[in-house]
Amino acid sequence: AAGVIQSPRHLIKEKRETATLKCYPIPRHDTVYWYQQGPGQDPQFLISFYEKMQSDKGSIPDRFSAQQFSDYHSELNMSSLELGDSALYFCASSRRQSRVDIQYFGAGTRLSVL
Amino acid sequence: DAKTTQPPSMDCAEGRAANLPCNHSTISGNEYVYWYRQIHSQGPQYIIHGLKNNETNEMASLIITEDRKSSTLILPHATLRDTAVYYCIVRLLNMLTFGGGTRLMVKP
């Protein structure tokens, strides 16, 4: 079965550079979530989109922005990168049904900021 | 979303059942219990969910107490590949709030 695809898998950037992470949801899924996991920490919710509209916002820095496109893929744009942005970034997708929302995660993008 | 409490770590012998408890005493009537696991640095993996009835799938069983204030995830025959952090999450819709979880170590 098709899974959530994230690209790139690894990314190395310098401080103050920009980065774009991409997420391709499972076919027919209408909702995308982004999570950040720092070293030794639990995943933390950043932002989500339902039917291409921003749905919820978590602890996402103002330097980050995201969107969901007409084909339902999503991109997380990160500017003015800081050392503390080094983390695993996971995308999850779901097909929102009444009262049940099972999120399926991608393999993640490991971002290293030097 | 209701908060959950899980033991930080547990050990289990390979081939034996692993029983992972979760307390969620403030759960509201329409919130579901979801279980996910994360194997070292991989994306979290959905295991099972339930509302009030016990549930079973090919991965695990979920036992929810009658008052819904606690639940237990059961891996019937744990293998070394089940070593992971297991998260119990109570929620309606939208984001998952990962908190602590139980680090399960399956030992030969």
What pLDDT score was predicted for residue B1? Answer: 64
What pLDDT score was predicted for residue A98? Answer: 65
Q: Measure CB to CB from residue A43 to each of B45, B49, B98 and give the nearest one.
A: B98
Name residue A15's amino acid. Answer: K
Low-confidence ranges of chain A (pLDDT < 70): 98
Q: How confident is the model at residue B100 (pLDDT cuts 50, 70, 90)?
A: confident
Q: Measure CB to CB from residue B43 to each of A45, A90, A102 and give the nearest one.
A: A90
Q: Measure CB to CB from residue B95 to each of A48, A102, A105 and give the nearest one.
A: A48
What pLDDT score was predicted for residue A80? Answer: 97
Q: How confident is the model at residue B83 (pLDDT cuts 50, 70, 90)?
A: very high
Mean pLDDT of chain B: 94
Name the burial class of residue B73, with classes exposed (0-12), middle (13-18) and buried (19+) by CB atoms within 10 angstroms of its CB.
buried
Residue B15, SS3? coil
Chain B residue closest in CA terms to A40: B41
Q: Do A45 and B95 touch (CB under 8 A)?
A: yes
For residue A25, list chain B residues with Cβ-Cβ distance below 8 A: none
The pairing of strands A109-113 and A10-13 is parallel
Q: How far is CA B35 from CA B44, B51, B74, B85, in A?
A: 10, 12, 11, 11
What pLDDT score was predicted for residue A100? Answer: 83
